[in-house]
Structure formats: structure tokens, C-alpha cells
């Protein structure tokens, strides 16, 4: 099947495709979390939620694999590099108590995926200590064991965890399609240039499209599983 995309059509087989939802966590998109502690306006990220909700519903209906990721750490923070903990000289940083519990710590309220996109039973949730979803996780194994070759990527933030993940996915041989209205950045300019970087030079890291194009393709898929 084909999806209209830039720089040219994205070809995929529904059976070997997964919708990857990167770090749609309360810590990034709700006030009082890590994103806000870094000085960001979290409302910028909420723009990606409506399209991601539609894609998630459509993927579930057509039986396309769905995988969620979350950035966060063990309660004792032993999997957080001291450099990451120190970065930004934040008063309320990773591991500190915030309005949604300890920031970016597994099991805390802020680490949860937002209610709009709550994972369903059977949808893998990859807990990751880094920005890149493959780093120190079993994401590659989970994808290969199901024969996944193509990723349709949504999430936050476009230039940080989404792009880090897409770059690594590309090196590992996955084809990535990034959905521009289902990814978001705290910075308008970064949103634009991060997407430009992915699709430049003949899809150097991957393809970029809008959710409507993915939704039409999913509709014509029928049920794959």
C-alpha cells in the first residue's frame, strides 16, 4: 500500500507496520511535569493529541500493531546518568516531587501516558531511560518478533525523542513515516526544521505526512488481524 507523503510516497504492508506513540506522558504535556520544569509551554505539545487519538483508534480498528513508549527511570534513579540528572541545574528536576508525583519516575502519576491515549491490554509499552526508544530497551526485539518493518510515528517532542528514535530506527533498517500533526515540539521553529531534516535528501531518515493521509490508508486496509 502507499501513503501520500514527502518527499515521495511511503510504501508499507499493513501486517508489517506498527503505529509507534512516543512519550505521550503527563510529564511532557500537562502542567507541573518535566516539560514545564524545563521552562516550556506545554500547550504547544497538546496540539498533537487529537490526530494521535484518531490514528490510535484507526490502527486498533484495522489491527495494525500499536506500541507505546515512556521516558522515565527506576525509583532509585540508578538508570539515569548523573549527567542527565544534573543537566539544566533545575530546582525541580528528574526524581523531584512535583504536582504529579516524582518527575519522570516509573509508577508516578506524571510518568503515565495521558488518558486520551491510554494503552490497551496487549499493546506493548516500552519503558526507556533515554530519548532514543531503542537505547537500553527491547523495542527492536518486540518489533522483529512480530515482523514489523515499517513505523508510523507520532509523539513528543518532534526534535528530541521522536527524531532520536527515527534516526536509530533508520540505521536499524526500519522505514519511518512521521505524522506531522501528531508530533509536536515546544518550539515552532524546531517542529518545522526537525520534520525538514527527516525528509530532506530523498528521505534521509524517513518520510513525513499528515494524519488524514494515514487515516485514509488505514480505512482501505480492512482488518489485518
Q: Does 157 bind ligand TIU (CB under 6 A)?
A: yes
> What is the smallest separation between the CB atom of 159 and ligand TIU, expressed in angstroms?
7
Q: Which is nearer to ligand TIU, 65 or 131 (CB)?
A: 131
Residue 125 is placed in which grid cell?
509499552
The answer to whether 132 touches 164, Cβ cutoff 8 Å, is yes
Q: Does 160 bind ligand TIU (CB under 6 A)?
A: yes
> What is the smallest separation between the CB atom of 220 and ligand TIU, expressed in angstroms?
32
Residue 69 is placed in which grid cell?
513508549
What's the rounded Cα separation, in Å, for the pair 180 and 145? 28
Q: Does 156 bind ligand TIU (CB under 6 A)?
A: yes
Q: Which is nearer to ligand TIU, 12 or 186 (CB)?
A: 186
Q: Report CA-CA distances (Å) from 82 to 38, 85, 87, 93, 179.
A: 17, 5, 9, 12, 33
Listed ranges 89-97, 113-121, 134-142, 152-160: which one lies at the site for ligand TIU (CB under 6 A): 152-160
Catalytic residue ranges? 23, 128, 161
Q: Does 224 bind ligand TIU (CB under 6 A)?
A: no
What's the rounded Cα separation, in Å, for the pair 163 and 167? 6
State which of positions 85-144 bind ligand TIU (CB under 6 A).
Answer: 131
What's the rounded Cα separation, in Å, for the pair 70 and 63? 22
The answer to whether 33 touches 100, Cβ cutoff 8 Å, is yes
* Residues that bind ligand TIU in the complex, under the rule CB under 6 A: 23, 28, 38, 71, 131, 156-157, 160-161
Amino acid at each position: 500500500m502507499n501513503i501520500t507523503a514527502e518527499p515521495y510516497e511511503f510504501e508499507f504492508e499493513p501486517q508489517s507496520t506498527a503505529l509507534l506513540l512516543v512519550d505521550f506522558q503527563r510529564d511532557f504535556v500537562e502542567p507541573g511535569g518535566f516539560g514545564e520544569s524545563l521552562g516550556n509551554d506545554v500547550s504547544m505539545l497538546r496540539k498533537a493529541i487529537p490526530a494521535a487519538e484518531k490514528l490510535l483508534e484507526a490502527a486498533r480498528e484495522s489491527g495494525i500493531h500499536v506500541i507505546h513508549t515512556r521516558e522515565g527511570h527506576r525509583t532509585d534513579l540508578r538508570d539515569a546518568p548523573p549527567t542527565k540528572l544534573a543537566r539544566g541545574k533545575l530546582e525541580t528536576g528528574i526524581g523531584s516531587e512535583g504536582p504529579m508525583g516524582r518527575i519522570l519516575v516509573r509508577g508516578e502519576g506524571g510518568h503515565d501516558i495521558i488518558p486520551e491515549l491510554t494503552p490497551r491490554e496487549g499493546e506493548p509499552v516500552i519503558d526507556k531511560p533515554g530519548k532514543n526508544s531503542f537505547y537500553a530497551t527491547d523495542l527492536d526485539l518486540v518489533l522483529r518478533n512480530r515482523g514489523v518493518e515499517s513505523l508510523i510515528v507520532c509523539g513528543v517532542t518532534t526534535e528530541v525523542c521522536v527524531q532520536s528514535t527515527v534516526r536509530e530506527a533508520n540505521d536499524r533498517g526500519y522505514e519511518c513515516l512521521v505524522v506531522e500533526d501528531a508530533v509536536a515540539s515546544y518550539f515552532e521553529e524546531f517542529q518545522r526544521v526537525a520534520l525538514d531534516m527527516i525528509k530532506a535528501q530523498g528521505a534521509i531518515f524517513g518520510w513525513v505526512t499528515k494524519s488524514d493521509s494515514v487515516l485514509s490508508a488505514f480505512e482501505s486496509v480492512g482488518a489485518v488481524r
